[in-house]
Structure 1
Amino acid sequence: MSNIKSSKKHAIQSKKNNQFNKSRKSLLRTLIKKVDIAIIQKNKILAQESWKILQPILDRFATKKIIHKNKASRCKSRLYLKIKKIP
């Protein structure tokens, strides 16, 4: 731990932000799994509904730099193509 007041404050903020981002990433992984499960079950309607929930969240997290913008784009692209292939 540092001795400088601003450095101490930064360490506390960093810890708080880390915890917040960790919960957001967990939420994101859960939503991606829901879409994947619907794809595996070949349930196109459920996959599309889950996709509609997931897509704006991916964009929001990329904007707030919780995840990288390329990761969000790659994830959206891959899931959308999988949903499209469901008969």
Structure 2
Amino acid sequence: MANTPSAKKATRKIARRTEINKNRRSRVRTFLRKVEEAIASGDQEAARTAFKAAEPELMRAVSRGVVHKNTASRKISRLSGRVKAIGAAS
């Protein structure tokens, strides 16, 4: 347990920041899930619109420090390829 006033304040700040980051991470996952569901349904137009919404959300998470830049870039790249593959398959 924190004893000094500064340690107690740090604990409060960490708890507040953790809650905010949890919400941001959840939001990103929701956008990614929508893209995944559209890909699974085979609807390229829905997948494309979901992907266009998810991409800036992921990069916003990067700028907020929730996700690493390379992780976001990798996810975007892989999703982009899968969205394009729907069009090629049908």
TM interval, short-chain normalised? over 0.9
Report the counterpart of residue 38 of structure 1 in structure 2: 38
TM-score computed with the length of structure 2 as normaliser:
0.91
Measured against aligned partners, the alpha-carbon deviations of 1:17-59 in whole angstroms (never above 9, x if no partner) come to 1011111111111111100110111111111111111111111
Of all paired residues, the percent bearing the same amino acid is: 36
1:18 aligned partner, one-letter code: T
Q: How large is the Cα RMSD of the aligned pairs?
A: 0.9
Mapped partners of 1:59, 1:26: distance in 2: 14
Q: Which runs of 5+ in 2 are unaligned?
A: none
- Counterpart secondary structure, 1:86: helix
Q: Which runs of 5+ in 1 are unaligned?
A: none
Alpha-carbon contact 2:35-2:51 (below 8 Å) kept: yes
Alpha-carbon contact 2:31-2:57 (below 8 Å) kept: no
Mapped partners of 1:64, 1:8: distance in 2: 24
Mapped partners of 1:49, 1:20: distance in 2: 27
TM-score computed with the length of structure 1 as normaliser:
0.94
Report the counterpart of residue 18 of structure 2 in structure 1: 18
